[in-house]
Every structure is written in structure tokens, then in C-alpha cells.
Amino acid sequence: MSYSLMDPNSYERYSRQILFAEIGEAGQQRLLESSAVIVGCGALGTALANLLVRAGVGRLRIVDRDFVEPSNLQRQTLFEEADARESLPKAVAAERRLRAINSGVAVEGIVADVGPKNAEDLLHGFPLILDGTDNFETRLLLNDVSVHLGVPWIYAAVVASYGVTLTVRPGLTACLACVLESAGTSGIDGASASVAGAEDTCDTVGVLGAAAGVIASIEAAEAIKLLVGKTESAGGRLVSFDVWSGRFQSVRVERNPECRACARHEFHYLEGDAQPHLTMCGRDSVQIHERRRQLDLAALGRRLAPTVAEVRENGFLLRFRVPPYEMTIFPDGRAIIKGTRDPAVARSLYARYISI
């Protein structure tokens, strides 16, 4: 571990960043002593984690609920073919790769689905929360946590060739609820435009790795500014970039004095049982959220083997096929059922194979 610049190897390692005047030795030392948590480890999360671990952020926690699939490899830069073959959880594969990239950073991958019940436990204690998620429900939850804990967070989203990011410093700059929930009430056309695209997802219109790379880079630069204490140049602007058209926008967004989250402190997403027990997950999958139970996946796999097809278990998840469906089960009881959008089908499969 090398948390100090007194170590000549550390100095050499970070020398090009230290030469950058806005960081310098003092900034690098602060970065080495800093920490951050990334929620979601897809295209944005992997690119962001790679940049921050190489930059020397002292401690990085990565929370993700999914496993690596072949369709991820086109843009999720920390993962390799073997990770997809083995269906490794993204948090596990990312942690392994990042530790190999920089052994001086304490990287911690956590396989979990961030929801209202566990969000503060997973995110507290970090001075910065970073968005690598793919849905607005989780982002508004992160926004609630950020405002509630008084900790900055950086929103980022990418779809097709377009991406957008906003740094939120609670109480000082506009939060995501200021932007999303009051769209149309003030001069935030850029924000409205980005919200209008919110129903498009990477599962319906695709996504370019190049777009994710641009937005993750902007997010990483904002993160580094905050972590080295150069806060004056962070936040307050909704930045968007379309790598296909080349259109770039940076729109100043103001706080909404009536904002539900950062003015009135009404944390619907954090307090509410806003998260349904079942959610759609991609184009043809249903997720059954964790039931907070401990499953012995190996034993379950052995029990199911005579009745289902293609049973695979790797210590992190159990997967099997019940044609035309594929079920993936995690140790906490969470499950992803692929091949249906019908909650009743998913519930019935879960009851039949897991709730025994």
C-alpha cells in the first residue's frame, strides 16, 4: 500500500498528475487520502473506476447488482471474455482488475442492489458518491442520500451517442430533483431535453462505448476536483455531449428554492417503499429484489440439477435454464429471470425453484 508521496515509487507513479498545476503535490496527497463510492459498474462505472484508481484515489467502493455478460464487453472496459464466460458479478470482476491496475488503492467490490433499505449503510462514510447506474429511480435515491447526508454526488447518464452529467453539492448547487422535478419552470431547456430522452434505455436504442468514455471522463475530472478540494470549479452546470453529432452543451442550472429534496428535505425515494418488490430489468427480464435471506447456492444447485438444465454455480451466483427462461440467483435471495416481462411468470418460477 502506498498512501504517501514520501514513497519515491508513489511520487514517480503520479508524477504527470503532480506536474499538473491544479493538483500538484498537495492535491495528489489529498487524493491518496480520499475515498469515493461508485454505484453501478457498467459502461460509466468501469470507465470511471479505471480513471480514479489510476489517479490514486485512496479507497474506492464499487456496488453493483449484475454479472458480466458478453453484450457488456463492447463498452465496459474493466471486463474480459473470461469474466463473461464465468458469469462473474461485475463488482467482483471489477475489484480484481482494479487491484491489478493499482495495488496501492483499497478497492472493495460489493454485490448488492442499492435500494432505500440499504442505501445509507452502503454509501455513508464516503465524501463523494458517484453515479454509474442506469435508471432514474436509483439516481433519485442517490440524490436523496446525498442531500440527507450532506455529501456531494455526481449524476451521469449515457444512452446511444449522448450523455449528460451534473455535479451536485447539496445546499450549494442544484440537485437532481431541482433539475428533473421542476423542468419547464425555469430556463433549463438542456435539462428538459435530457429528461425527454429518459425513457430511452441502452436496451432499446443501444449505446456507444465512446459516449460512455466521454461522460465518464468528465465525471472523473469533477470527482478529482472535489476530492482535491478545488470545489469552486465543480457543480452547477448540466453538461451534455453527443459524440455522433459533436454537439456539446453546458447549461447553468439554478437551485429550485421550492425543491422537494434540497429545500424541503422530503426524501421520498429514501424513505418510501418506492422500490417495488419486482422490477423490469432490461428488455426481457424481471428482477425479484433481495429477500434478505442467505441461500447456500451450491446446495440449491445440487438439489435443482435433476429438474433443470445447464446448472452453473461459481460461488457468487447460481444460474440455470428452465426453457425458455433463464434464472440467475444471488446468495441474498435476489433473482433475475430472463425470458419474460411478466411479473406473474417470474414470481411463479421463483416460488417453484427457490422458495422451497
- Interface residue with Zn ion among 177, 215, 227, 337 (CB under 5 A) is 177
Whichever of 269 and 320 has its CB closer to Zn ion, that residue is 269
Side-chain half-sphere CA neighbours of 98 within 13 A: 30
Whichever of 257 and 272 has its CB closer to Zn ion, that residue is 257
Whichever of 137 and 181 has its CB closer to Zn ion, that residue is 181
Q: What are phi and psi of 290, to 5 degrees?
A: -60, 145
- Interface residue with Zn ion among 129, 178, 288, 327 (CB under 5 A) is 178
Quickly list H helices, the chain: 8-13, 15-19, 24-32, 43-55, 81-85, 90-101, 119-123, 136-149, 176-180, 189-196, 202-205, 209-227, 268-271, 297-304, 343-353
Site for Zn ion in 262-281 (CB under 5 A): 262
Residue 79-118 contact track with Zn ion, rule CB under 5 A, x = bound: ----------------------------------------
Q: How far is the CB of 15 from Zn ion (least distance, A)?
A: 40
Stretch of 76-84, 176-184, 213-221, 332-340 lying at the interface with Zn ion (CB under 5 A): 176-184
Peptide bond into 324 cis (omega under 30): yes
| DSSP string across 147-206 | HHHT--EEEEEEEBTEEEEEEE-TTTS--HHHHHTTTTSSS-HHHHHHHHGGG--HHHH-
- Interface residue with Zn ion among 92, 111, 168, 175 (CB under 5 A) is 175
Whichever of 62 and 261 has its CB closer to Zn ion, that residue is 261
Site for Zn ion in 208-267 (CB under 5 A): 259, 261-262
Task: Look up residue 232 and give its DSSP letter.
Answer: G
Q: How far is the CB of 225 from Zn ion (least distance, A)?
A: 21
Three-state secondary structure call for residue 241: strand
Stretch of 45-53, 172-180, 304-312, 342-350 lying at the interface with Zn ion (CB under 5 A): 172-180
Number of residues that bind Zn ion (CB under 5 A): 6
Look-up of cell digits 427480464: 285
Q: How far is the CB of 259 from Zn ion (least distance, A)?
A: 3
Residue 124-163 contact track with Zn ion, rule CB under 5 A, x = bound: ----------------------------------------
The C-alpha angle 329, 42, 98, rounded to 5 degrees, equals: 95
Distant-in-sequence, close-in-space partners of 264: CB < 8 Å, separation ≥ 6: 258
Whichever of 32 and 174 has its CB closer to Zn ion, that residue is 174
Known catalytic residues are: 202
Residue whose C-alpha is closest to residue 4's, from 61, 56, 50:
56
Q: How far is the CB of 257 from Zn ion (least distance, A)?
A: 9
Stretch of 171-179, 184-192, 271-279, 311-319 lying at the interface with Zn ion (CB under 5 A): 171-179
Residue whose C-alpha is closest to residue 79's, from 58, 49, 104, 112:
49
Which spans of this chain sit near Zn ion (rule: CB under 5 A)? 175, 177-178, 259, 261-262
